[in-house]
A and B are shown apart, each in its own frame.
Chain A
């Protein structure tokens, strides 16, 4: 068992087999640095719970392929990324910090899929980005590639 401490001072116990999916913690364990609690100053407990949930589910990834539980895992992944933007970014940051490749891939791909067909206005609203381009600059970009702004698939809704 390995103990992880979030930045709001909550401790979590995780099985070693699960936690070594994180390259960073794996390295620490190999170096013999993980005897006591591992502090994670960049991750809050809410996000850490999410990450641990993922790690525990993916603990036997190799086995799942053999026993035909792949679909089950796929379903879990689909459910897992079904969260708000803020939360998704927190998980991505945590995955980046802990260096969990699969989780990073899953979340980034999910984010990309959500953004793919969105209109510019919807993207700004979803990610709370302030438009700092002037109207002329914006028009120039649109004139450069008008085809990118047209098409039936472009979705202006925010969700």
Chain B
């Protein structure tokens, strides 16, 4: 409490603070590749230096022996007549000198069998990535996990009485910790399906994938970045009573220009009753159940489905699915749900909006309304902003989920007649992709940049970065797909 960071003068000749430090009796010791031992006294808040006994080639802390002995134990490497010699030296605080340890005999002479066991434990094959946990006279080998590592750290810091203290071989844990970091880096680049499968590789991976909040965040961040070699793409179907979706054959196709495979829609919900009623956002989508008139949240990747705890259909006839827009507020890191509904106001149709944050203790808040008579149908979520194309007035409306403000900008002048927002390309590229038509029904594709920061849009239209010309096959595919209005693309 009431504390703040204080600056401490560091010794000028100390340029690397090794991460391999040890705390002992109020002093933190660390070695440095320049063959010195540095220490930091927590009471005086001062750095100090211990010279090595004689010229030695390199030095490192022997963490376990230090913790066991209660005195600083160093492993020095000397160079004697063409060969190297490793030995452990114990530090004596009173005369600031080192004494060579002949460990085996000395420790056994004290009647302490622990040390021999620890010696043996040290030899455990490190490739097995296990670490050693020693408790008084027991040696327990436990699989390393980050949780254990945190536990080891906190336990080591808290325990004072040596007889009851658990001792952890810090060095191997450290190694595991490094390894864990790298596994973290690699796994966060994998698609959701692989992750769900790798849950059962081992306990460490399981707890990393399931329980580590940092991992989840990093995975979300990474899968939102535009170059997406690892994302999965799903196609969900809009409701269609005449069509029997269940008999749709299993097929896979590659999306033009992207190394992605389109996954099959999963029939984890009943298409007869459930209808999609929102855009997709980070792999989530809202479903409306016609029978119980409730709204459900579907995780497309896992097939998990959850009913929302509040009602959304109290405004209009229960037969029609509510028009919802699902978005993610990047600042608050919360999902928000926006509902659009049309009302008569002075004999005029007005599209009103209300919003609520998903989670506990939230309620519907009324917010801005569109003064137009026709409300746009489909919304698209991208980087914290919802977009709608509004054809009659040739404008694109966007709603910033953080500021909760509705704004708009106009279509490019020469193709301002009509526009389609390509939801799949938008999601794949991480930028707004529009197909704009002119009055002669010629069309051009536009990628908008810098819409991530809607501030820039307020002043004038966003600059056109790229008027991309793809091959004919792409165009044909696009035209086909834009007619096929039943497919909704969803990316996780």
A residues near B (Cβ < 8 Å) are: 28, 31, 33, 39, 41, 89, 92-93, 96, 104, 108-109, 111-113, 115-120, 123-124, 128-133, 137-138, 141-142, 144-145, 147-149, 151, 153-154
Contact = CB atoms under 8 A, between A and B. Distances in A.
B182 interface: yes
A123 B182 contact: no
A93 B176 CA distance: 12
A143 to B, nearest CB: 11
Contacts of A131: 201-202
Interface stretch (B61-69, B184-192, B270-278, B307-315): B184-192
B129 interface: yes
Given A112-B189, A145-B197, 9 more contacts: A116-B194, A120-B201, A123-B198, A130-B128, A130-B143, A142-B200, A148-B194, A148-B197, A151-B193
A140 to B, nearest CB: 9
Interface residues of B, number: 35
Contact of A108 (B189, B202, B303): B189
Interface in B175-218: 178-179, 181-182, 185-187, 189-191, 193-194, 196-203, 205-206
Contact of A120 (B187, B193, B197): B197
B229 interface: yes
B302 interface: yes
B250 to A, nearest CB: 9
- 6 closest Cβ contacts across the A-B interface? A148-B196, A112-B189, A39-B33, A33-B15, A141-B200, A148-B197
Majority DSSP secondary structure for residues of A touching B: helix
Given A41-B33, A128-B128, A148-B196, A123 B185 contact: no
A145 B201 contact: no
Greatest chain A CB density within 10 A among B202, B203, B303 is at: B202
Given A115-B194, A128-B128, A123 B186 contact: no
A16 to B, nearest CB: 17
Contacts of A130: 128, 143, 202
A132 B143 contact: yes
